[in-house]
Chain A
Amino acid sequence: MSETASKRRPQYRNLTVPQLLVYLNRMPLAAKTSILHRASGALLFLCLPLVLVPLFGRSVESAETFAGLASWASHPLFKLVLLALIWSYLHHFCAGIRYLMLDMHVGNDKHSAQKSAGAVLVISLALTVILGLKLFGVW
């Protein structure tokens, strides 16, 4: 056992929501990217049989169900769900690539790790905005 482990360390439990928000706000970029990696993965997991597989099914089943998706997509609520899933996929993808790079000891120093974490957040959000604009028919 090392010295630090035997010392009594402060514990922060039962955090209230405002405290939690302050904590989230003060997290370094890499920590934000990390928790969002987990959150986006959990969302994709939950939506897998509820949204993603049924959606895939409708898109490939027949020409009629394929065409029917266009009318679903006109529903704003459906668009928001889709947008959340698109962001989840993009963030999880980008953050995952970053982790694979870190595994190979690329950009492991503090400075580059923070920079790549910021890049993951920005790139996935930017791609989500581009696809979102497409989804809402802006282009």
Chain B
Amino acid sequence: MDQQGLGQKRLVVGAHYGTLDFIVQRVTAIIMAIYTIVLLVGFLFMGELNYENWRNLFTFTCLGLPVGQMLATVAFLSVAWHAWVGVRDIWMDYVRPAGLRLVFQVLTLLWLVGSIAFFAKILWSL
């Protein structure tokens, strides 16, 4: 290892929480990008824009499986996890006092978990 411990041979220690966040942020981004394209393609090929066709984008089934709702759920969970990583970064950058930062982080989690419940109720009661 060189003197400054930089470069490819640097010693990496710790529990890799940062690595997990880094990977989660990117994987969820890719899931959301793919779902955006899926929705866009569905939207362009659904024919007339009316309630039935629009709703069907999120409720279509395949071989008896509620694929539309499953995809939407996976995409929304990706939104929430992605937002958690990003918003937490914002608090870590701008909010210095640890107590206040913790408050903001807890509020962020409540905000996101509440959003998930809200979305899930709407989606799965269709």
Contacts and interface: CB of A to CB of B under 8 A. Distances in A.
Interface in B35-71: 36, 51-52, 54-55, 58-59
A45 B114 CA distance: 12
A53 B119 contact: yes
Across the A-B interface, the 4 shortest Cβ-Cβ residue pairs: A66-B51, A63-B51, A57-B122, A49-B115
Binding site secondary structure of chain B: helix
Interface of B: 4, 26, 29-30, 33, 36, 51-52, 54-55, 58-59, 79, 83, 86-87, 90, 108, 111-112, 114-115, 118-119, 122-123, 126
A49 B114 contact: yes
A48 B112 CA distance: 8
B33 A56 contact: no
A57 B111 CA distance: 17
A39 B28 CA distance: 19
Contact of A53 (B26, B83, B118): B118
Binding site secondary structure of chain A: helix
A103 B33 CA distance: 16
A66 B122 contact: no
Given A45-B86, A93-B33, A60 B26 contact: no
Nearest to B118: A53
Interface in A77-106: 93, 96-97, 100, 103
B79 A93 contact: no
B55 A45 contact: no
A121 B68 CA distance: 32
A2 B6 CA distance: 11
Interface centre among A60, A62, A93, A100 (most CB of B within 10 A): A60
Nearest to A46: B111
A45 B123 CA distance: 19
Contacts of A53: 115, 118-119, 122
